[in-house]
């Protein structure tokens, strides 16, 4: 029986074969439980294998209270602590015995838990996952132990100069929004985290609710049987999302600069960014994704000049990603000699000025667009990849069809749209620049 308690949000009559005209070509059915939990079934030809993803739309953007950064990432760890019914040892032993891989990741906008492996393990996956989301159990000593482990993770990541640059960039570019701190959180907050046991319970109550979750199942499974089991296992999950409002970032009205002084030998870096719109602005998101490669990819004049020609830069990385709220578009470059930092910056700004002035290579734009489509298709090479792609794109707006809608907008972008984007976003007053140099000015 396909249960009357479910409301089909996407027609179950979707074709059984991939639709090559779509960015996400596989048929998807979405069903909703009365408690608000959504379940997305992805028809993917993957005999004997199944992927099971749980998206929680909570990330570091939700860490609004002062002194409480890092708790979204904390629960990525804590969710593996087990329940009264299934201990952490039981969970890990079962995953190993069944031949499953399991992990989780946290970003600004989401926390995602995932398993992948033999399809015959799906009933056990559903049982164990439902139990830990409904009945996570940890006492204060366990909480303190995990908080200490997070501090160790922070110390390890702090040895990466680009992690320190990221901290400096977001705290300089954002004055109110919670994108102003990194996903792992501020060091002081992590050091104080062991005293936050009661707050951790409150954070879990607010955000780990069924109406804030979507389950994605892709691969070899029986839809009717899986739907029935999920209803039984998750139907008693209660609670309603009780999110604290995230402050809006005011418009930036003057350019900002900051510098990281690194105390170990490394090459200098420069990171230039501008504020851009949220992923919900489909046209803006489509243009920004095109500009990532158009401005900073291997075929771009900047790449050709700075890396292949003059060889003053040895890496150039476009740093725009779609985000739930307005975020940053930019480029991070590793420069071979600190004396060239200003010249490299001037080269980037000159290219931006040319773009705003209408100098757009329509042929290269089309090549970039084609490459984005091809790369997206190539990334969907297994059920696990299909599930994670749908999960992370759903997190942005809550729309399971977001990826298809964004690529439809991308197909409509014209050269003049790149020019208008540059004119409206890439102004000096909207720019934040961070450099990293060693104590003696850079170099190795």
Supply the pLDDT for residue 353: 97
What percentage of the chain exceeds 90 in pLDDT? 92
Among 272, 232, 306, 281, residue whose Cα is nearest residue 417: 281
Same domain for 85 and 39? Answer: yes
226 and 188 part of one domain: yes
Distance, in Å, from the CA atom of 92 to the CA atom of 102, rounded to the nearest integer, reads 9
pLDDT at 5: 36
Confidence check: pLDDT of 165 > 70 = yes
Do 90 and 140 fall into the same domain?
yes
Which tens digit of pLDDT belongs to each residue from 39-89? 999 999 999 999 999 999 999 999 999 999 999 999 999 999 999 999 999
Rounded Cα–Cα distance for residues 154 and 60 (Å): 15
What is the pLDDT at residue 162? 95
pLDDT of residue 439: 78
Domain that residue 103 falls in: 7-234
Per the model's pLDDT, the better-predicted residue between 440 and 22 turns out to be 22
Q: How far is CA 44 from CA 27, 40, 241, 373, 375, in A?
A: 8, 12, 31, 19, 19
Residues 177 and 167: their CA atoms lie apart, in Å, by: 14
Per-residue pLDDT, averaged over 296-319, amounts to: 97
| 334 and 368 both lie in a single domain | yes
Contacts of 128 (CB under 8 A, 6+ apart): 86, 91, 94
Q: Which residues contact 301 (CB under 8 A, 6 or more apart)?
A: 351
- Could you tell me if residue 13 is inside a domain? yes
In a domain, 302, yes or no: yes
Residue 96 lies in a domain: yes
- Global pTM reads 0.93
Quick one: pLDDT band at residue 158, thresholds 50, 70, 90? confident
- Chain segment 118-144, per-residue pLDDT in tens: 999 999 999 999 999 999 999 999 999
Residue 1 resides in a domain:
no
Q: Based on the fold, state whether residues 225 and 292 are members of the same structural domain.
A: no
- 287 lies in the same domain as 187: no
Map the chain to HEC letters.
Answer: CCCCCCEECCCCCCCCCCCCCCCCCCCEEEEECCCCCEEEEEECCCCCEEEEEEEECCCHHHCCCCCCCCHHHHHHHHCCCECCCCEHHHHHHHHHHCCCEEEEEECCCCEEEEEEEEHHHHHHHHHHHHHHHHHCCCCHHHHHHHHHHHHHHHHHHCCCHHHHHHHHHHHHHCCCCHHHCCCCCCHHHHHHHHHCHHHHHHHHHHHCCHHHEEEEEEECCCHHHHHHHHHHHHCCCCCCCCCCCCCCCCCCCCCEEEEEEECCCCCCEEEEEEEECCCCCHHHHHHHHHHHHHHHCCCCHHHHHHHHHCCCEEEEEECCCCCCCCEEEEEEEEECCHHHHHHHHHHHHHHHHHHHCCCCCHHHHHHHHHHHHHHHHHCCCCHHHHHHHHHHHHHHHCCCCHHHHHHHHHHCCCHHHHHHHHHHHCCHHHEEEEEEEECCCCCC
Over residues 239-259, the mean pLDDT reads 97
Same domain, 121 and 204: yes
- Residue 29: which of 222, 208, 235, 229 has the closest Cα? 222
pLDDT bucket at 19, cuts 50 / 70 / 90 = confident
- Does residue 14 have a pLDDT over 80? no
β-bridge mates for residue 146, sequence order: none
Condensed to tens digits (0 to 9), the pLDDT of residues 370-427 reads 999 999 999 999 999 999 999 999 999 999 999 999 999 999 999 999 999 999 999 9
Q: Are 277 and 146 members of one domain?
A: no
Q: Which of 200, 234, 268 is the last residue of a domain?
A: 234
pLDDT at residue 174 in the model: 98
Confidence of residue 9 (pLDDT cuts 50, 70, 90): very low
What is the structure's pLDDT at 49?
Answer: 98
389 shares a domain with 323 = yes
The pLDDT of residue 176: 98
- 299, part of any domain: yes
Per the domain annotation, does 2 fall within a domain? no
Both 263 and 296 in a single domain?
yes
Q: Which of 155-164, 217-226, 313-322 comes out lowest in average pLDDT?
A: 155-164
Whether the pLDDT of residue 185 is over 60: the answer is yes
Phi, psi of 5, rounded to the nearest 5 degrees = -70, -20
Stretch 175-199: mean pLDDT: 96
Residue 241 lies inside a defined structural domain of this protein: no
User: Once rounded to an integer, what is the mean pLDDT over residues 190-215?
Assistant: 97
Residue 41 lies in a domain: yes
Mean pLDDT of 142-159: 91
pLDDT of residue 16: 55
- Work out how many domains the chain is built from and give that number: 2
* Domain's final residue, options 170, 201, 234: 234
Q: How far apart are CA 222 and CA 9, in angstroms?
A: 19
Asked if pLDDT for residue 442 goes beyond 60, the answer is: no
User: Please, which pLDDT band fits residue 3 given cuts at 50, 70 and 90?
Assistant: very low
The two tokens of residue 35 are 């408690």
* 137 shares a domain with 204: yes
Domain boundary among 170, 203, 234: 234
- 244-257: average pLDDT: 97
pLDDT of residue 285 exceeding 60 = yes
- Mean pLDDT (the chain) is 94
Q: Stretch 106-119: mean pLDDT, rounded?
A: 98
CATH number at residue 221: 3.30.830.10
- Report pLDDT for 440: 66
pLDDT of amino acid 443? 44
- For the chain, the straight-line distance linking the first and the last C-alpha, in angstroms and rounded, comes to 67
**Do 334 and 398 lie in a common domain?**
yes
pLDDT at 8 over 80: no
- The answer to whether the CB of 64 falls within 8 A of the CB of 245 is yes
Residues contacting 222, CB < 8 A, separation 6+: none
């Amino acid at each position: 029986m396909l249960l009357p308690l479910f409301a089909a949000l996407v027609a179950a009559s979707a074709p059984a074969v991939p639709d090559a005209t779509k960015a996400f070509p596989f048929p998807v059915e979405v069903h909703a439980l009365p408690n608000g939990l959504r379940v997305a079934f992805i028809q993917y030809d993957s005999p004997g294998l199944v992927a099971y993803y749980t998206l929680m739309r909570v990330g570091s953007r939700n860490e609004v209270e002062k002194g409480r950064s890092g708790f979204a990432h904390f629960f990525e760890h804590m969710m593996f602590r087990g329940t009264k019914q299934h201990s952490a040892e039981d969970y890990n032993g079962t995953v190993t015995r069944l031949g499953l891989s399991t992990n989780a990741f946290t970003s600004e906008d989401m926390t995602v838990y995932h398993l992948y492996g033999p399809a015959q393990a799906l009933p056990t996956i559903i049982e164990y996952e439902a139990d830990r989301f409904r009945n996570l159990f940890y006492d204060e000593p366990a909480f303190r132990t995990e908080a200490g482990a997070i501090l160790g993770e922070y110390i390890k990541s702090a040895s990466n100069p680009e992690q320190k640059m990221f901290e400096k960039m977001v705290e300089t570019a954002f004055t109110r929004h919670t994108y102003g701190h990194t996903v792992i959180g501020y060091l002081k907050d992590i050091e104080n985290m062991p005293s936050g046991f009661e707050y951790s319970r409150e954070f879990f109550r607010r955000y780990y609710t069924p109406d804030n979750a979507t389950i994605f199942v892709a691969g070899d499974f029986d839809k009717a049987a899986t739907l029935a089991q999920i209803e039984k296992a998750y139907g008693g999950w209660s609670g309603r999302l009780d999110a604290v409002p995230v402050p809006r970032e005011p418009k930036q009205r003057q350019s900002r600069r900051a510098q990281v002084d690194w105390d170990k030998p490394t090459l200098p870096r420069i990171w230039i960014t501008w504020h851009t719109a949220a992923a919900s602005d489909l046209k803006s998101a489509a243009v920004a994704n095109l500009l990532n490669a158009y401005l900073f990819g291997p075929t771009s004049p900047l790449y050709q000049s700075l890396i292949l020609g003059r060889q003053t830069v040895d890496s150039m990385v476009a740093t725009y990603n779609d985000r739930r709220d307005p975020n940053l578009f930019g480029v991070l470059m590793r420069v071979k000699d600190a004396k060239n930092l200003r010249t490299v910056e001037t080269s980037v700004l000159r290219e931006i000025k040319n773009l705003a002035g209408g100098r757009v290579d329509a042929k290269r734009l089309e090549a970039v667009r084609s490459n984005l489509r091809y790369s997206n298709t190539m990334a969907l090479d297994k059920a696990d990849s299909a599930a994670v792609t749908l999960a992370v794109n759903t997190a942005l707006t809550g729309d399971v069809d977001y990826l298809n809608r964004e690529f439809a907008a991308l197909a409509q972008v014209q050269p003049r749209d790149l020019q208008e984007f540059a004119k409206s976003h890439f102004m000096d007053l909207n720019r934040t620049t961070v450099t990293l140099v060693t104590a003696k000015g850079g170099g190795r």
